[in-house]
Amino acid sequence: MLPFAVKKLVFYSYKKGMMKMFGCIFCQVAAGQKPGKIVCEDDQCVAFEDIHPKAPVHVLVIPRKHIATLNDDLAGDEPLLGHLLSVAARVAKMKGIDRSGYRTVINTNAEAGQTVFHVHLHVLGGRRLAWPPG
Ligand code: 5GP
Ligand code: ZN
């Protein structure tokens, strides 16, 4: 008999793999299986236009790797998460809002308004953004 912890690990790895293959719209965008207006991409991440923009510039930067939320076990993914920020800055420059200003946001879980459970960095700008956020 396998120890419980090993079974749990196998189950969650399986679930994550299945999620990636079938369930996650952002994995599908990253894989080119779902259309997205790509702004830029590299081997680690993809930046694309939000389908319902909340500002004149609204781009989502996602890791190619499926990470559901910032509450996941992120051990080893710190360089990847840092890379998302540097790509966000590149996107802001490409969109011409780096000097005027922009906001980078990651919503986590229900009260923050997370609706897609694949970590994504919103890059918002092109208008004055209220603070504190609603
Ligand atoms: P959240 O609310 O999870 O922080 O942000 C999810 C964002 O993804 C929303 O701003 C929503 O408009 C955007 N979104 C949801 N589905 C799609 C899609 O299929 N394509 C694109 N490009 N954006 C999407
Ligand atoms: Zn995903």
* pTM greater than 0.85: yes
Domain extent for 13: 4-125
User: Residue 23 C-alpha to ligand 2 middle, in angstroms?
Assistant: 8
- SS3 assignment for 97-113: CCCCCEEEECCCCHHHC
**Residue 26 sits in a domain of what CATH number?**
3.30.428.10
Instruction: Answer yes or no: is the C-beta of 31 below 6 A from any ligand 1 atom.
Output: no
Give domain status of residue 133, yes or no.
no
Give domain status of residue 131, yes or no.
no
pLDDT of residue 134: 86
Instruction: Answer yes or no: is the C-beta of 113 below 6 A from any ligand 1 atom.
Output: yes
Confidence of residue 12 (pLDDT cuts 50, 70, 90): low
The Cβ-side half-sphere exposure at 35, using a 13 Å CA radius, reads 1
Give domain status of residue 132, yes or no.
no
Place of tokens 């990470």: 67
What is the domain count for the chain?
A: 1
- Render pLDDT for 74-93 as a digit per residue (tens, 0 to 9): 999 999 999 999 999 999 99
